[in-house]
Amino acid sequence: MIEVNVSINAPVLYCDETILGIEIGNGYSFEKNYIDNLPFKEEITDCRGDLTVDYLDSIKSDENGKYLICISKKDVYQIENQIKGPGVYTDKDMMCGNQVKAHNKLETDYLYKMFSLLHLFKEGNIGTKEIFLDNVFSIGFMKNILHNTSINVTRNTTDDRVFSLVPDEVMSCNQFLSDYHGSEYTIFKNCIDEFVWGLEQVDIATGFEQFTTALEMTLLDHHQRGKKRSTFQKSRSNAREYTDSNRPDVCENESILPS
């Protein structure tokens, strides 16, 4: 097996320093990084050295200069050595690209999940536009450095609502992420994806349509979705009347789960 050192960094849009107290797990941490010290500065600046337009509204400043809130992680993981002995090997074999790509996807999927949960916890256009992943490993005398960028091409960078927490909400938010990042998220993933997709729309009409679809997926049977608006409205009205004593167990009531 080969050990791979991975460094993951991404600027986080539309949040303030209150996010620094949030713990999303899996080795990630929110950090305050000054622009001149960003490890990926060249990736998000233009030919004049200015930040690209996607990040302008997320810049903060203090007495030490301008900075961005970033998410970062450093870790070591293992991949299988493709070189089994004497033979003919290509550059692709030496780079172990498929294994690195698979690990990168696990990391980006995890970040997507946790930012989706933050959207459910409180309003604000928090999230990433680009995630930079650097994987470094050696095979024999060859040192490989794989630099990958995961880009969210549909990311709404015009919604300027800032994700901000009051002190009492930090602990509640951490508990929320801890409680719902497992099987609860998996059960409602399709609904949550639809909701987040609505948030990423730049026009109100399309966004509202996605929100409506997310509610239909949550509250209606599969065969009713998109057909019985009156049923949906009644279900939505009934949902307002749920209390801790009469709310149905969503894990047992499979009729409201996405197919």
Taking only the tens place, the pLDDT of each residue in 162-175 is: 999 999 999 999 99
Task: Assess contact for 150 and 133: CB atoms under 8 A.
Answer: yes
User: Which residues pair with residue 40 across a beta bridge?
Assistant: none
Count of structural domains, the chain: 2
* Pairing assessment for the beta strands 2-13 and 65-79 based on DSSP bridges: antiparallel
**Does residue 174 belong to any structural domain of this protein?**
no
Look at residue 146 in the predicted model and tell me its pLDDT: 86
Q: What is the domain range of residue 29?
A: 2-168
Q: Do 32 and 152 sit in the same domain of this protein?
A: yes
Q: Do 150 and 41 sit in the same domain of this protein?
A: yes
Look at residue 258 in the predicted model and tell me its pLDDT: 40
Does residue 241 have a pLDDT over 90?
no
CA–CA gap between residue 195 and residue 213 (Å, rounded): 8
pLDDT tens digits, one per residue of 13-41: 999 999 999 999 999 999 999 999 999 99
Look at residue 87 in the predicted model and tell me its pLDDT: 56
**Does residue 229 belong to any structural domain of this protein?**
yes
Look at residue 249 in the predicted model and tell me its pLDDT: 46
Look at residue 180 in the predicted model and tell me its pLDDT: 94
Task: Assess contact for 19 and 30: CB atoms under 8 A.
Answer: yes
Q: Do 138 and 200 sit in the same domain of this protein?
A: no
CA–CA gap between residue 160 and residue 122 (Å, rounded): 14
Q: Do 92 and 129 sit in the same domain of this protein?
A: yes
The percent helix, strand, coil of the chain (3-state, each to 5) is 45, 25, 35
pLDDT tens digits, one per residue of 190-230: 999 999 988 888 878 888 888 888 888 888 776 665 554 55
Q: Do 6 and 85 sit in the same domain of this protein?
A: yes
SS (H, E, C) 14-58: CECHHHHHCCCCCCCEEEEEEHHHCCCHHHCECCCCCECHHHHHH
pLDDT tens digits, one per residue of 78-133: 888 766 666 555 556 556 768 888 999 999 999 999 999 999 999 999 999 999 99
Look at residue 234 in the predicted model and tell me its pLDDT: 55
Minimal CA–CA distance to 16: which of 78, 44, 58, 75?
58
CA–CA gap between residue 76 and residue 180 (Å, rounded): 26
Q: Do 44 and 152 sit in the same domain of this protein?
A: yes
For every residue of 98-162, DSSP letters joined together read HHHHHHHHHHHHHHHHHHHHHHHHS-S--EESEEEEEEEEEETTEEEEEEEEEE-TT---S----
**Does residue 95 belong to any structural domain of this protein?**
yes
User: Which residues pair with residue 132 across a beta bridge?
Assistant: 9, 149
Confidence at 248, pLDDT banded by 50, 70, 90: very low
Q: Do 145 and 208 sit in the same domain of this protein?
A: no
Q: Do 223 and 112 sit in the same domain of this protein?
A: no
CA–CA gap between residue 210 and residue 251 (Å, rounded): 24
pTM for this one? 0.80
**Does residue 180 belong to any structural domain of this protein?**
no
Q: Do 157 and 217 sit in the same domain of this protein?
A: no
Residue 23, burial from CB neighbour count under 10 angstroms (0-12, 13-18, 19+): middle
Q: Do 118 and 28 sit in the same domain of this protein?
A: yes
Look at residue 78 in the predicted model and tell me its pLDDT: 87
Residue % of the chain over a pLDDT of 70 = 78
**Does residue 81 belong to any structural domain of this protein?**
yes
Residue 158, C-beta contacts closer than 8 angstroms, at least 6 positions apart: 202
User: What mean pLDDT comes out for the span 129-139?
Assistant: 89
User: What mean pLDDT comes out for the span 143-151?
Assistant: 88
Confidence at 48, pLDDT banded by 50, 70, 90: confident
- End position of a domain, from candidates 141, 168, 195: 168
Q: Do 199 and 159 sit in the same domain of this protein?
A: no
Biggest alpha carbon–alpha carbon distance for the chain: 70
**Does residue 179 belong to any structural domain of this protein?**
no
CA–CA gap between residue 93 and residue 232 (Å, rounded): 53
- List the structure tokens of 253: 């009531």
**Does residue 178 belong to any structural domain of this protein?**
no
Q: Do 15 and 140 sit in the same domain of this protein?
A: yes
Torsion sign across C-alpha atoms 54, 59, 65, 68: negative
Output 223 or 72, whichever has higher pLDDT.
72
Confidence at 253, pLDDT banded by 50, 70, 90: very low
Minimal CA–CA distance to 69: which of 85, 55, 82?
55
**Does residue 181 belong to any structural domain of this protein?**
no
Does residue 64 have a pLDDT over 60?
yes
